[in-house]
Chains A and B, each alone.
Chain A
Amino acid sequence: MGEDIGEMGGVFQCTAGLSSEFGARRVIETPISEACIGGCAVGAAATGLVVPIVEVQIMDMVPLMMEKVVNQAQRDAEGRSVSMPIVIRGPQGGGHRLSAQHSQSLEAWFTAVPGLKVVMPSTPHDAKGLLLAAVRDPNPVIFLEHKNLYQLPRSHVPDGDYEVPLGVASILREGTDVTLVATSNMVHEALKAAGRLAARKEQPVSVEVIDPRTLWPLDEATILDSVQRTSRLVIAHEAPRRGGWGGELLSVVQEKAFDYLDAPITIVAGRDCPLPYNAALEKACIPGAAQIAEACLAVVQRPGFDQ
Chain B
Amino acid sequence: MVKVSEFDKVFNEAQRQGRLSFYFTNRGEEACSVGSGAALRDDDWVWPQYRELGATFWRGYTIEEAANQCCHNELDATKGRQLPMHIGSPEKHLMYVKSNLGQQVPAANGAAYAMKLQRKGRCSITYFGEGCASEGDIPSALNIASVHGCPTIFFCRNNGYAISTHTDDQYKSDGIAPRGVAFGMPTIRVDGNDLLAVYAATRAARRIAVEEGKPALIEAMTYRIGAHSTSDDDSKYRRADSPEEGYDSERAYWDARSPIVRFGRFLEARGLWTAEEETALRKTERAASIKALNDAEKRAQPHVKHLFTDVLDEPPWMLRQQQADLKAHLAKYSEHYAEVTAEQIESM
User: Known contacts A31-B147, A36-B141; is A43 also within 8 Å of B124 by CB?
Assistant: yes
Select the residue from A43, A45, A67, A167 with max chain B CB neighbours within 10 A: A43
- Encoded as 1 (CB less than 8 Å from any B CB) or 0, chain A from 235 to 261 comes to 000000000000000000000000000
B78 with A79: CB separation less than 8 A = yes
Asked if A49 and B106 make an inter-chain contact with CB atoms under 8 angstroms apart, the answer reads no
25 contacts between A and B (CB under 8 A): A26-B117, A36-B140, A36-B144, A40-B107, A42-B106, A43-B112, A44-B111, A44-B114, A47-B45, A47-B110, A49-B114, A49-B118, A71-B103, A72-B100, A72-B107, A76-B310, A78-B78, A78-B88, A78-B96, A79-B77, A79-B78, A79-B79, A79-B80, A79-B81, A82-B90
A50 CB within 8 Å of chain B: yes
Q: Is chain A's binding surface mostly helix, strand, loop or mixed?
A: loop
Closest approach, in angstroms, between the C-beta of B329 and any C-beta of chain A? 17
Show the binding face of A for B, using Cβ within 8 Å. 25-26, 28, 30-31, 33, 35-47, 49-50, 52, 67-68, 71-72, 75-83, 114-115, 117, 138-139, 167, 217-218, 220
Report Cα–Cα, A35/B100, bound state, in Å.
13
Known: A33-B143, A71-B100, A83-B90. A40 touches B310 (CB 8 A): no
Tell me the bound Cα distance from A78 to B82 in angstroms. 7
Q: How far is the CA of A39 from the CA of B195 in the complex (A)?
A: 31
Of B2-10, B249-257, B263-271, B313-321, the stretch lying at the interface with chain A is B313-321
The count of residues in chain B whose C-beta lies closer than 8 Å to any C-beta of chain A is: 50
Contact digits for B82-97, partner A, Cβ 8 Å, 1 yes 0 no: 1000101010000111
CB closest chain-A residue, reference B97: A78
Instruction: Write the nearest CB–CB distance from B100 to chain A, whole angstroms.
Output: 6
CA gap between A47 and B137 in the complex, in Å: 20
The reply on B304 being an interface residue by CB < 8 A is: no
B105 within 8 A of A: yes
Q: Is the CB of B312 within 8 A of A117?
A: yes
Contact A39 B118 (CB under 8 A): no
| B47 contact set on A, CB distance < 8 A | 43
Give the docked Cα–Cα distance between A52 and B113 (Å): 11
Cα of A46 to Cα of B126 in the assembled complex, Å: 14
CA distance A113 to B112 in the complex (A): 28
* Cβ–Cβ contact A217 & B310, under 8 A: no
Given contacts A72-B100, A78-B82, 15 further A-B contacts (CB under 8 A): A26-B117, A28-B113, A31-B144, A39-B109, A39-B137, A40-B144, A41-B110, A43-B47, A43-B107, A47-B45, A72-B98, A79-B82, A82-B96, A217-B316, A220-B318
